[in-house]
Structure formats: structure tokens, C-alpha cells
Amino acid sequence: MQLDWPSENVINPELSRNRWFHPSSNFCLDFHGDPGASELRIFSDGNHHMALEESLESFRSSNRLSSVFYCTTPPKVYLDWMQSRTIEIGNLCLSVTPDIVIGPDDIMEKLTAENKVCRTAVFAQSRGNSFLVRKNNPKCVREVSDLLRENVRLFISNPLTEGASHTVYRQTLEGCAAMDGLESNAIGDLLECSDKVLFGSLIHHREAPQAVADGSADVAIVYDHLALRYTRIFREIFDRIPLPIGEHNITTRYAVGLVDETFQLACNAFEFFLSDETKSIYRNHGLQVA
């Protein structure tokens, strides 16, 4: 099964455009809009892409912009992009610099220290992590101890290409395992077992649901708001199994960073992310707000 993702572009719907697309061959799902024509360019991590899209569409519409170009990649991707000022996507090369940068608060602290953003603010936070399984949960995976069964294979993000999310997921699994009375090395041993674990390659918020959908994995650990998103847009394919809430279920804080204080449109966008409207959107998509 190949997941057919819905369109995610912040573009005036009245603009004429042609779409060349096939789900199994589209490598550009996390690059949105027209970098040449857009008045605003945003680099963001992708773990809250559904709330980001709705927020940016509201900002675009209220400011009567033709489009907003934005990416929703792991932070490493856009950090390297900012360093080199270009990115290659297949045979396509984009030379784009951001007006706004969004990511985990530690990433924003790093960019501030490097003088790549001049102002930052935390505006949202995840609500912990959940399991994503096929509809009706055929392997009956409900708690971390179930991952140790011989017939269950886990998907988790890659520790090298997506270190931030992988750390959150691993610490959550270890915390839940301790709560369940499992041995201290149970999760470490599990993650070293190649027959039991499938690691993502680069963009786990696309790879995790695909792995569960096509049977490469029986369960994926993802941010709870991602699991909520998948069960909303693929209702007949997935179920969400929330993990117990507590200090052991690790959360992530998301911050917005302004690159240039002299660019008024970017300043307006920065303030918009701190507005009640954006807070409402993020709550509706399963996140907490600052």
C-alpha cells in the first residue's frame, strides 16, 4: 500500500497551476509552494506540519499573499541548507534563504548563538508520544512490553539523521519500560535487534505511517499529534494508542525565530505565531501552546 498524501500548499487557490504527481515517486512532499514567487520563506521542522500549514494559510489569506514557500524537513536538513545556501532535490537545485525558522527550542538557541536569527520565542509544545498501529490493532500492541514479543516489529526515527526525535522516542520507551517493571536494558537490547526494529531514513513523519501501512512494521512510535493526524486523514488505515502521560513521556518545545528585523512581513509572521489564532490551531491539532 502506498499512502496518497493530501496536498499541502499555502497558495492562493484561485491561481492557475498544473500538478504533476504520483504518490510512489514524489520525493518533494516536504517542500511546499513556489520559492520564486512567494513573498515569505519559512524553514521548519516537520513534526507539526499539519498545524503549520493551517496557520500559514490563515496568515497568507489575511495578508493577501500569493503564496508562502516553506519546508517541513528534519532540522539537520535545513541547517545544512542555511549553511550552504542551496539544496539539491533530485536534479532540482534551490537557492533559498529563510525569513523565519521554526524548530525545537534547542535548535533556536543554537541559531541565536550563531547570529542566524535575531529573535526567538517558544510557541507550542508536544503532548507526548503514542503508538501508531494498523486499524483494529491486529498485533494487540498496547504498551511497551508488547514490543518485546517475537511477532512485533517497531518503527522508530533514525538516530543519525533525526537525532532530536529519536532521543525523545527512545527516552519515552525507556521511561515507560521502567514504569512497567522491565529490565533497564530492555529497550537498548531491542533497538540493537535488526530483525525487530526498522529505522527511518530521513523524514520519519512520512516514513512511519508508510511502514505501518505496508506492513514493514507493526507499530511506530511517533509524537501524539502526528498519530492524531494520521488517524484523521487515513481513518480506515490507522489507530492511535496513547502512551501513559507523565515525566517519562517526553515532550518537545517548538520555537519560532526571526532572521531579519527590518523585514516587516517576517516580523508580522513572527508575531502571528504567538497569536491566539495560531494557539487555537495548534491546540486543534493536538499540541499544547506556550
Task: State whether 141 and 234 are in the same domain.
Answer: yes
Task: State whether 189 and 137 are in the same domain.
Answer: yes
Residue-wise pLDDT tens digits, 137-185:
999 999 999 999 999 999 999 999 999 999 999 999 999 999 999 999 9
Q: What is the pLDDT of residue 283?
A: 98
Residue-wise pLDDT tens digits, 198-254:
999 989 999 999 999 999 999 999 999 999 999 999 999 999 999 999 999 999 999
Residue-wise pLDDT tens digits, 29-79:
899 999 999 999 999 999 999 999 999 999 999 999 999 999 999 999 999
Q: What is the pLDDT of residue 270?
A: 98
Contact 50, 285 (CB under 8 A): yes
List the domain range (segments joined by +) for residue 84: 28-125+252-289
Q: DSSP string of 99-154?
A: SEEEEEHHHHHHHHHTTS-SEEEEEEE---EEEEEETT-TT---SGGGGGSTT--E
Task: State whether 133 and 236 are in the same domain.
Answer: yes
Q: What is the pLDDT of residue 8?
A: 78
127 pLDDT band (50/70/90 cuts)? very high
The conformation of residue 232, written as its DSSP 8-state character, comes to: H
Task: State whether 207 and 138 are in the same domain.
Answer: yes
Q: pTM for the whole thing?
A: 0.90
Task: State whether 50 and 115 are in the same domain.
Answer: yes
- In this prediction, what percent of the chain has a pLDDT beyond 90? 84
Task: State whether 284 and 189 are in the same domain.
Answer: no
Contact 180, 146 (CB under 8 A): no
Task: State whether 80 and 148 are in the same domain.
Answer: no
Residue-wise pLDDT tens digits, 90-102:
778 899 999 999 9
Which of 203, 222, 242 is where one domain is finished?
242
